[in-house]
A and B are shown apart, each in its own frame.
Chain A
Amino acid sequence: MDVTEAQIIAALLEFFDRKDATDEDFDRLALRIFAYQFENNQPYRRFAAARGRTPLSIRNWRDIPAVPIDAFKDLTLSCRPTEEIAHVFMTSGTTRGGQRGRSYHPTLAVYDRSMILNFRQRFMQGLDRIRMGILFPDEQAMPNSSLAHYLALARRECGTPDSEGFIDGAGLATARLLAALAHAEARGEPYALLGASYSFVHLLDALQRQGRRFALPPGSRILDTGGFKGQSRELAADEFYDALSAALGVPRDRCINMYGMTELSTQFYDWGNETCPPVKSGPHWIRTRVVNPLTGQDLPAGETGVLVHHDLAHFNSVSAILTEDAGIVVPGGFRLLGRVDGADSKGCSVAVEEFLKAARG
Chain B
Amino acid sequence: MTEFAGHLPGLSAGEVEWKTLHFGAWGEAAEIRVPVLSEAQAAALAGRVRDNARTYLKTLRVAEITAIIDQAIARLLDRNDPWRQKVERLLPIVTGYDAEMIRLGLTGYLKTFRQPQLKRFLAEDFADPQILDDFQPRPKGGFAKAFGPDLLLHVWAGNVPGLPLWSLISGLLVKAGSIGKVATAEPLLAGWFARILAEIDPRLGECLAVVWWKGGDEAGERVWLAQADAIVAYGGNDALKAIRDRAPVTARYLPHGHKIGFGMVARAALDTRKAGALARRAAYDVMRYDQQGCYSPQMLFVERGGRVSPREFSAYVGHELASFARKHPRRALAIEEAAGVASWRGAQELRAFSGDRDLLGDSADSWSIVHVEDAQALAPSGLNRTLSIVAVDRLDDVVGLVAPFRSFLQSAGIAAEPEELFRLAGLLGQVGVTRICALGSMTAPEAGWHNDGRFNLLDLVTMTEIEHAAEAAADGFAPYVD
Centre residue among B291, B293, B338, B352 by max chain A CB count within 10 A: B338
Q: Which of B256, B296, B343, B408 contacts A358 (CB 8 A)?
A: B408
List of B residues within 8 angstroms of A70 by Cβ: 343, 346-347
Contact B335 A71 (CB under 8 A): no
List of B residues within 8 angstroms of A86 by Cβ: none
Q: Give the size category of A's interface with B.
A: 35 or more
Q: Which of B84-92, B115-123, B375-383 contacts the other chain? A: B375-383
Is B407 among interface residues, defined by CB-CB distance under 8 A?
Answer: yes
Given the interface pairs A46-B353, A68-B347, the reply to whether A348 lies near B336 with Cβ below 8 Å is no
Within 220-254 of B, Cβ neighbours of A (below 8 Å) are at: 234-238
**CB of A38, distance to nearest CB on chain B (Å):** 15
Contact B258 A351 (CB under 8 A): yes
**CB of A310, distance to nearest CB on chain B (Å):** 17
Centre residue among A50, A71, A347, A358 by max chain B CB count within 10 A: A347
Within 214-261 of A, Cβ neighbours of B (below 8 Å) are at: none
Is A293 among interface residues, defined by CB-CB distance under 8 A?
Answer: yes
Is B478 among interface residues, defined by CB-CB distance under 8 A?
Answer: no
Given the interface pairs A293-B342, A348-B293, A355-B260, the reply to whether A340 lies near B336 with Cβ below 8 Å is yes
List of B residues within 8 angstroms of A347 by Cβ: 158-160, 163, 185, 289, 292-294, 296
Is B274 among interface residues, defined by CB-CB distance under 8 A?
Answer: no
Is B364 among interface residues, defined by CB-CB distance under 8 A?
Answer: yes
List of B residues within 8 angstroms of A43 by Cβ: 350, 353
Contact A294 B338 (CB under 8 A): yes
Contact A324 B339 (CB under 8 A): yes
List of B residues within 8 angstroms of A360 by Cβ: none
Query: CA of A293 to CA of B235 in the docked complex: distance in angstroms?
Result: 27
Contact B292 A294 (CB under 8 A): no
Select from chain B the residue with minimum beta-carbon distance to A347.
Answer: B292
Query: CA of A47 to CA of B335 in the docked complex: distance in angstroms?
Result: 24
Is A121 among interface residues, defined by CB-CB distance under 8 A?
Answer: no
Is B39 among interface residues, defined by CB-CB distance under 8 A?
Answer: no
Contact A348 B260 (CB under 8 A): no
Select from chain B the residue with minimum beta-carbon distance to A43.
Answer: B353
**CB of A264, distance to nearest CB on chain B (Å):** 18
**CB of B225, distance to nearest CB on chain A (Å):** 21
Given the interface pairs A343-B337, A348-B160, the reply to whether A355 lies near B408 with Cβ below 8 Å is yes
Q: Give the size category of B's interface with A.
A: 35 or more
Is A306 among interface residues, defined by CB-CB distance under 8 A?
Answer: yes
Contact A75 B335 (CB under 8 A): no
**CB of A43, distance to nearest CB on chain B (Å):** 7
Q: Which of B157, B294, B296, B338 contacts A292 (CB 8 A)?
A: B338
Query: CA of A358 to CA of B353 in the docked complex: distance in angstroms?
Result: 28
Is A55 among interface residues, defined by CB-CB distance under 8 A?
Answer: no
**CB of A221, distance to nearest CB on chain B (Å):** 33
Q: Write the B332-362 contact mask toward A (1 if CB under 8 angstroms, else 0).
A: 0111111111111011011111000000000
Task: Given contacts A43-B350, A295-B364, A343-B336, list 17 more A-B pairs with CB under 8 A.
Answer: A43-B353, A50-B353, A70-B347, A294-B333, A294-B363, A294-B364, A306-B339, A341-B343, A343-B339, A347-B160, A347-B163, A347-B296, A348-B256, A352-B380, A352-B382, A357-B237, A358-B407
Chain A residues within 8 Å of B, Cβ to Cβ: 43, 46-47, 50, 68, 70-71, 74-75, 292-296, 304-306, 322, 324, 326, 340-352, 354-355, 357-359
Chain B residues within 8 Å of A, Cβ to Cβ: 95, 157-160, 163, 185, 234-238, 256-261, 289, 291-294, 296, 298, 333-344, 346-347, 349-353, 363-364, 379-380, 382-383, 404-405, 407-408
The 8 nearest A-B residue pairs measured at CB: A347-B292, A343-B336, A293-B342, A68-B346, A340-B339, A350-B258, A347-B158, A348-B294
